[in-house]
Amino acid sequence: MPFADPTTDPGTAVPVTAGLGSDAGCDAHRATPGAYAGERDARGTAQLSVSLTMTRDTSLLPAEADLLDHVADWGPAHTSAGVFHLDPVRVDRDLPLISGWMNDPAAGFWELAGPQDVTEEHLRAQLACDGRSVPCIGVLDGTPMSYWEIYRADLDPLALHYPARPHDTGLHLLFGAVADRGRGLGGLLLRAVADLALAQRSSCARVIAEPDIRNTPSIAAFLTAGFRFSAEVDLPAKRAALMVRDRSLRHLL
């Protein structure tokens, strides 16, 4: 998904970065959606190719290593809106649903509108990679209602633009149904998933996001979710607010 991000309604969609891959497939699978409310990056492959020269070598990891500590096993989060969990995408099962969401005008900045094969290519590129980005369906009280990408921010092009730390974890989020937008679920579920990441990934000390500095609804959602404003950073197509949720502060914010 992309680094571009206009000011949008607070309850539309949430994204946050791309993938610095060990091959072109890991890098080209998405363009960084902004960070909240349907943002999406307008970067081209020329900019993505720069990060290929700084690839982190994951070939030395044990065969059983999982770069995100088995997102499927992170378990449920009990929220005031209901029980929420992440279910890793199965293309054969989930493609029609996700493609439908991507064709909603609210998802325009993901740039995945069109026939199902547009979304399918996006999903399969992640699934064929080394696990540094895991696409998921967000399920609330048994109902699929959102699309997420959980990714390793320290292995991402974003790491070229901020002082990344090992195992920094990033989030992208798109709400599917209109009824789930604009009623506070963004901040609630961002907090829930960020805290799942911190609870299940002992090596992760921070969860990262980078909404456009002009996108005040997005920044407000992250602040509601317990993220702090860290810095302004210049990305290829926007000036962003680097938002961070720290393990050390999660019980205070």
Residue 10 has pLDDT above 50, yes or no: no
Q: Is residue 4 part of a domain?
A: no
Q: Is residue 55 part of a domain?
A: no
pLDDT in tens, 12-61: 344 433 333 333 346 534 444 543 333 333 333 222 222 323 344 444 44
Q: How far apart are CA 194 and CA 22, in angstroms?
A: 26
pLDDT in tens, 92-119: 999 999 999 999 988 877 889 999 999 9
pLDDT in tens, 68-86: 999 999 999 999 999 999 9
How much is the pLDDT for 215?
78
Domain, as residue range, for 180: 13-50+67-249
Q: How far apart are CA 245 and CA 169, in angstroms?
A: 10
Q: Is residue 95 part of a domain?
A: yes
Q: Specify the CATH number for the domain of residue 118.
A: 3.40.630.30
Q: The whole model's pTM is what?
A: 0.78
- Closest by CA to 139, choosing from 187, 102, 192, 70, is 192
Q: How far apart are CA 171 and CA 181, in angstroms?
A: 18
CB 137 within 8 A of CB 101: no
Domains identified in the chain, total number: 1
How much is the pLDDT for 214?
83
CB 196 within 8 A of CB 169: no
Q: Is residue 58 part of a domain?
A: no
Q: How far apart are CA 52 and CA 49, in angstroms?
A: 5
Q: How far apart are CA 203 and CA 240, in angstroms?
A: 26
Q: Is residue 190 part of a domain?
A: yes
Between vectors from CA 26 to CA 112 and to CA 97, what angle results, nearest 5°? 35
Per DSSP bridges, beta strands 169-175 and 228-235 are unpaired
What percent of the chain shows pLDDT beyond 90?
53
CB 129 within 8 A of CB 19: yes
CB 41 within 8 A of CB 33: yes
Say which range, 19-23, 200-204, 210-214, 234-238, has the weakest mean pLDDT. 19-23
Report the chain's C-alpha Rg in angstroms: 16
Q: Is residue 196 part of a domain?
A: yes
CB 176 within 8 A of CB 145: yes
How much is the pLDDT for 4?
35
Residue 130 has pLDDT above 70, yes or no: yes
Estimate the share of the chain in helix, then strand, then coil, as percent rounded to the nearest 5: 35, 25, 45
Q: Is residue 108 part of a domain?
A: yes
Q: Is residue 185 part of a domain?
A: yes
- Closest by CA to 238, choosing from 19, 16, 12, 14, is 16
Residue 182 has pLDDT above 60, yes or no: yes
